[in-house]
Amino acid sequence: MTDPAADSTASPARTPLFLDCDTGVDDALTLGYLAASPGVELVGVGSVSGNCSAETGARNTLDLLALLGLPDVPVHVGAHDPLAGSFAGGAPHVHGADGVGGTSGRELPRSAGEPSGTSAARALVDAARERPGQLVVLAVGPFTNLALALDLEPELPRLVRSLTVMGGAALAPGNVTPVAEANVHNDPEAARRVVEAGFDLTVVGLDVTMRHLFEEEHRRALLDAGTPVGAALGAMLGHYFAFYTDVFGRPCCSLHDPLAAAIALGDVALASAPRVKLTVDDTDGPGRGQTIADLRALYRGLPDRSPEDPRVVLEVAEEFAPLLLERLLPL
């Protein structure tokens, strides 16, 4: 990996990043955040069934990338079904029937782009092999494509630089069941395989994402920006806010996926992110989909267990919403 600090005359290399997602309103914010990050080279995007089907997610991603001025980023359709069972239909009550709050073909225009024809799992493996030790992987949907990529390339954890996922809840309540977060709950078998695979893994779960919110003032600022991107994101946030009004008692939303992106890129400081043993309950009882983080060391000041263990983010040191808005407004 190039160290820009080693040669002050070298222009800093952009960070190659592969995104796997289930686009989705907060996934759309994430695409915007990445597009607005000059230090990032988005080398590919995989889609997976979650908020909507993998096919719909790929369509939304293509349309968003075109709107964001990145029509050449390849988009790869990934797994329709989880490792066990079948796709259950997504979360239209949260993200709309089209996954983007009813904006598809309206505020979010349909683009000419088409998916690559390569599966998301294969594309991820190829991207990792092309730049060993360099690729930053960000997964903000169910982990099915990552598990399939591990089947194709068991050395994947050592081929990539890092993996950051939005998923799980270490100490916080779940958002699908009392204990399970949606991305993990949608494919617990895949999630368990991925968290135990030996990646340099950072887990951004509900412990932090439910505490970083976009409010009506942020949505209004996007609409008032007078840009096509602001109009599309502002309109889809309207749908998303309606769901979260029942959760928080006012129109707003959690910034799940964009916060994970910012953490993957080191854009926000972490106040508490211990490395601890982590697994996922993939049994059929009431705990299905729960992430089980061994945080017993909390009682004695949370020392890191070992560098091989996943890093579980429990607290972010700064407010994220202003940074996200600042990135999105000029788009």
Name which of residues 88 to 117 contact Ca ion (CB under 5 A): none
The DSSP bridge pattern shows strands 162-166 and 136-139 to be: parallel
**The token pair that represents 306 in the structure block:** 């070992």
The reply on whether position 52 binds ligand RIB by CB under 6 A is no
* Residues 124-163 within binding reach of ligand RIB (CB under 6 A): 140-141
Q: Could you give the C-alpha distances from 39 to 14, 34, 201, 265, in angstroms and in order?
A: 5, 9, 21, 9
For 266, residues 6+ apart whose C-beta sits below 8 A from its C-beta are none
SS3 assignment, position 268: coil
Which of 16, 24, 32, 188 binds ligand RIB (CB under 6 A)? It is 24
DSSP of 139-169:
E-S-SHHHHHHHHH-TTHHHHSSEEEEE---
In whole angstroms, the minimum distance from the beta carbon of 256 to ligand RIB comes to 4
Residue pair 124/137 in contact by the 8 Å Cβ criterion: yes
Q: Tell me how far apart the alpha carbons of residues 200 and 263 are, in angstroms, rounded to a whole number.
A: 14
Inter-residue long-range contacts of 215-223, CB under 8 Å, 24+ positions, other chains counted: 215/250, 215/251, 215/252, 215/321, 216/241, 216/250, 216/251, 216/252, 218/321, 218/324, 218/325, 219/251, 221/325, 221/329, 222/325, 222/328, 222/329
Task: Give the residue with the Cβ less far from ligand RIB, 134 or 219.
Answer: 219
**Residue 88's CB: how many other CB atoms inside 10 A?**
11
Interactions with Ca ion, residue window 206-265 (CB under 5 A): 257
Q: Is 140 in the site for Ca ion (CB under 5 A)?
A: yes
Cβ-based nearer residue to ligand RIB, 199 or 240: 240
Select the span of 31-39, 146-154, 175-183, 244-252 touching ligand RIB (CB under 6 A): 175-183
Torsions phi, psi for 307 (to 5 deg) = -65, -15
Which range in 149-157, 176-184, 300-308, 316-324 contacts ligand RIB by CB under 6 A? 176-184
In whole angstroms, the minimum distance from the beta carbon of 299 to ligand RIB comes to: 28
How many residues sit close enough to ligand RIB to count as binding (CB under 6 A)?
15
Q: How far apart are CA 207 and CA 172, in angstroms?
A: 5
Q: Which is nearer to Ca ion, 37 or 183 (CB)?
A: 183
Is 256 marked active-site?
yes
What residues from 245 to 274 belong to the interface with ligand RIB (CB under 6 A)? 256-257
Q: Which two tokens stand for residue 77?
A: 């359709």
Cα 296 to the center of its chain, rounded Å: 27
DSSP state of 178: S
Binding at 104: pick from ligand RIB, Ca ion, none (beta carbon under 5-8 Å per type): none
Taking CB positions, which residue lies at the least distance from ligand RIB? 182
By CB under 6 A, name the one of 47, 144, 145, 183 that touches ligand RIB. Answer: 183
In the complex, minimum distance from the CB of residue 54 to ligand RIB, in angstroms, rounded to a whole number: 12
Q: Does residue 202 belong to the site contacting ligand RIB (CB under 6 A)?
A: no
Asked if 157 and 182 count as a contact pair (C-beta separation under 8 A), the reply is no
Query: Which of ligand RIB, Ca ion, none binds 202 (CB below 5-8 Å, type-dependent)?
Result: none
Q: How far is the CB of 147 from Ca ion (least distance, A)?
A: 16
Tell me the window of 66-74, 98-106, 116-124, 177-185 that interacts with ligand RIB (CB under 6 A). Answer: 177-185
Q: Which of 175, 202, 290, 291 binds ligand RIB (CB under 6 A)?
A: 175
**167 is a site residue for Ca ion (CB under 5 A):** no
φ and ψ of 215, to 5 deg: -105, 175
- Decide: is 24 part of the binding site for Ca ion (CB under 5 A): yes
In the complex, least distance from residue 27 CB atom to Ca ion, rounded to whole angstroms: 4
Residues within the interface to Ca ion (CB under 5 A):
22, 24, 27, 140-141, 257
- Residues assigned a catalytic role: 256
